[in-house]
Amino acid sequence: MLNAEQRAIIKATVPLLESGGEALTTHFYKMMLNEYPEVRPLFNQAHQASGDQPRALANGVLMYARHIDQLEQLGGLVGQIINKHVALQILPEHYPIVGSCLLRAIEEVLGKEIATPAVIDAWAAAYGQLADILIGAEENLYKQKEDAEGGWRGTREFRLVRREQESSEIVSFYFAPVDGKPVLKAEPGQYIGLKLDIDGAEQRRNYSLSALCDGKEYRISVKREAGGKVSNYLHDELVVGDTLQLFPPAGDFTLAASDKPLVLISGGVGITPTLAMLQAALQTRREVHFIHCARNGAVHAFRDWVDGLAARHPQLKRFYCYAEAAGGAEADAIGLLSEDLLAEWLPPERDVDAYFLGPKAFMAAVKRQLKGLGVPEQQSRYEFFGPAAALE
C-alpha cells in the first residue's frame, strides 16, 4: 500500500511522463526484450517497431499516475489490460521482470538527480500495487475459464479443420480441439490467443473470433499483412490437419444485451468481431444497421454472407462504402465514410448502441461523426486490435 508521501511523488512525476513517457517506455522495452528473451513472444515486434506499444504503455503509466488516488477513475482500461494479458497468458512470474526493467528505465532515462531513491521507492510501491491488482484479477479470470463448461487453462491443442478464402486479402481458419471435447463458448466480440512456432521462434497473437461459437470449434479470419510474420505464416504455411496451441477466449469488448437499435460500423478487417455480434443480434428482434467500409470490392470479405442475412432478416439494413470503384462489386457509396453518409444510414432516432472497429484513423473519424450526429458517447464503443491509443 502506498503512503501519502509516495502518492505525492507519483503525482509529481506526471509532467515528466507527459513530456518524456514515450522515450522512457521505448528504453524499457529495448532493455527488457534484449535481456529477457523469454518474454519476447508476449510482444508483437511490429508494434514495437511502429512505436505503438511504447506509446500505449506510456499512456497507461500516465493514466495510472494521474489517478493514483482514485484508481476507479481508470474505468475500462484495467479490464482491457486484464483481458489482453489473459489472452496471451501473462503469468505472475512475468511481473517482476517488467517491474525491475521499468524501475531501471526510470532511473536511466530521467537520471539520478530526478530519479532519486525516494522516487524509485515510490514507483516500486506503485508498480507493486498495480501488479497485485492485475495478478489477482487475472487469476480470477483464468479460474473462471478453467471451471466453465468446455473451458481450460493454459494451452490446448487444436487442429485446423477447414480454411476458406473470404477476399483477396482475408482467409478464415476453423479450429477444432484435438481431444474432441466441447470448447468454451465465447461472447460475441471476443478474441482468442494463438501460440505458434515459426522458424524455431515462439509467436503469440490474438485474433477476433469471426463467428458465434457453437461449442465445437472456433473461427478466425486473418488479413495478410505486408511483412506480418504470423499472418503470412497462417496464409502460406498452415494447412488443414496442422495443429497449434490456443488459449481460451478473452476480451471485454462484447455485445451488451439491449433492445436499442444496434449499429455495427467496420473498416477493413475490423469487420471480424462484428460478424459474431451480427449473428447474436439477429437471434433477437433487434433492429440492426450494418455498415462496412472497404478499399474496394476485391478486398471486401463476407459480402455475400451479409447480403444473404439481409435477405432473410428484414430488421437488418446493410450499407457498403468503398474508397475506390474497383474490384467488380457495387457499393452504396464511393469515397470515405462521412458524417452525411452516416446520417443517412443510421436510424432516425440516435438513441442507439454503436460498435465500431478498424484502422485508428477510421475509428477516430467515426467517433467524431457519431458524436456530431447525437449518438450518446457512452453508447459509442470501440476496441483496438493492437495497442490502445487515444482517438482524438
Cell output for 329: 462489386
**Which residue in 64, 138, 191, 207 is the catalytic one?**
138
Identity of the residue numbered 100 = S
Query: What SS3 class is residue 182?
Result: coil
Helix (H) or strand (E) holding 374: none
**Which residue in 5, 36, 72, 95 is the catalytic one?**
95
Identity of the residue numbered 321 = C
Partners of 319 in the beta sheet? 291
20 contact partners, CB below 8 Å, separation of at least 6? 109, 110
Cα 341 from Cα 377, distance rounded (Å)? 19
Question: Is 320 among the residues known to form the active site?
Answer: no
Question: Is 107 among the residues known to form the active site?
Answer: no
Q: Burial-class residue 274 by CB neighbours within 10 Å (0-12, 13-18, 19+).
A: buried
Q: Burial-class residue 58 by CB neighbours within 10 Å (0-12, 13-18, 19+).
A: buried
Find out whether 182 and 247 touch, Cβ atoms under 8 Å: no
Count the helices and strands in the chain (H runs, E runs). Answer: 12, 12
- Smallest Cα–Cα separation from 68: which of 141, 110, 130, 24? 130
Catalytic residues: 95, 138
